[in-house]
Amino acid sequence: MTTVLPEGKRAAVCVSFDTDCWSIFLRMRAVGLVGKGTFGPINFARGEFGARVGIPRIMEVLEKHNVRGTWFTPGVIADTYPELIRELADKGHEIAHHGYFHECPASMTKAQEKASFVKGIKAIERATGGKKPVGYRVPFEIPNASDISTSTIKIMMDLGFKYISQHMGPYDFRVSKVRDGDKYYFDRPPKFGKEVDLLNIPVNELIEDDLAYFLGVSAFYPKLDNPSKVFEVWKMDFDYMYEHEPGGFYTLVLHPECTGRAHRIMLLDQIIEYMAQKPDIWFCTMEELANTWKN
């Protein structure tokens, strides 16, 4: 059971985005993770930068390299900027699910979670002209909720999702089937559940922009790291994957409100250019990768 890449391709790369913009900040305010008075026009604008400036800049870089990405988009962002999301979809990018209002499954009841999934699907279908999302990434609510619930996998399968892009398997560069029903204890070994008909396409926070740049000072104030240092880390992970994990898959996890800033856009250009030097790298969306799965 594995992904089977197109003939002549040694490894795959997906450039993925969490199109959070301001939704993550407002969600954190809504659930009390940041205090009253933290959220006003200034912090809203930090997020809106992602939609108005970040996404167009990113699109330009991806078009230069003829790369199409996967955009995990909260429904409220699709409802607010439908023309932008439609443009991405029309250009062949994949629009995937990221909650309706960046809500994390672990902080919801089962009914709330189902409603959030359905509302997010409808918003994406409205914006894209009817393209139903097949992938999902869990929205992160620091610090108290960043996981799926006991209902998430069943809800996703009932709604026809093909994959979740998360830490749901033991691999960093390999797609695997999701295992449902694990039981964990504090005084004995865990009991493992059964594999289900849902793929995990792994993420890796070490090659994610907000760990490098964003979470250093507070939720709202970015830290400043040297882009050449970030490039070196991302490049070495790619080099390792290319040399040691043939048939593997490397994904960047980026955010328009973070990577859209000028020096980081230049870094995105550089890292794609570096990877594209290898003619046997397949740049793909996660949906395309999921479609290569062979049982």
Q: How far is the CB of 74 from Zn ion (least distance, A)?
A: 7
User: 67 or 254: whose CB is closer to Zn ion?
Assistant: 254
Give the amino acid at 232.
Answer: E
Look up tokens 């090659």; give the residue: 207
User: 20 or 209: whose CB is closer to Zn ion?
Assistant: 20
Residue nearest to Zn ion (CB): 18
Look up tokens 């979740």; give the residue: 164
Look up tokens 């900027």; give the residue: 81
Adjacent-strand bridge partners of 249: 12
Q: How far apart are CA 101 and CA 84, in angstroms?
A: 18
CA distances from 87 to 27, 55, 93 (A): 26, 11, 9
Adjacent-strand bridge partners of 3: 293
Q: How far apart are CA 75 and CA 26, in angstroms?
A: 14
User: 209 or 287: whose CB is closer to Zn ion?
Assistant: 209
Q: How far is the CB of 190 from Zn ion (least distance, A)?
A: 28
Q: How far is the CB of 214 from Zn ion (least distance, A)?
A: 11
User: 20 or 113: whose CB is closer to Zn ion?
Assistant: 20
Q: How far is the CB of 140 from Zn ion (least distance, A)?
A: 6
Q: How far is the CB of 137 from Zn ion (least distance, A)?
A: 7
CA distances from 91 to 80, 116, 280, 290 (A): 19, 27, 23, 20
User: 75 or 248: whose CB is closer to Zn ion?
Assistant: 75
Contact residues for Zn ion, defined by CB under 5 A: 18, 20, 139
User: 20 or 287: whose CB is closer to Zn ion?
Assistant: 20
Two tokens, residue 59:
């699109």
Q: How far is the CB of 138 from Zn ion (least distance, A)?
A: 8
Adjacent-strand bridge partners of 176: 200
CA angle 256, 260, 261 (to 5 degrees): 140
User: 18 or 287: whose CB is closer to Zn ion?
Assistant: 18
Q: How far is the CB of 18 from Zn ion (least distance, A)?
A: 4
Q: In sequence order, which ranges of 218-279 are alpha helices (DSSP H)?
A: 227-244, 256-259, 262-276
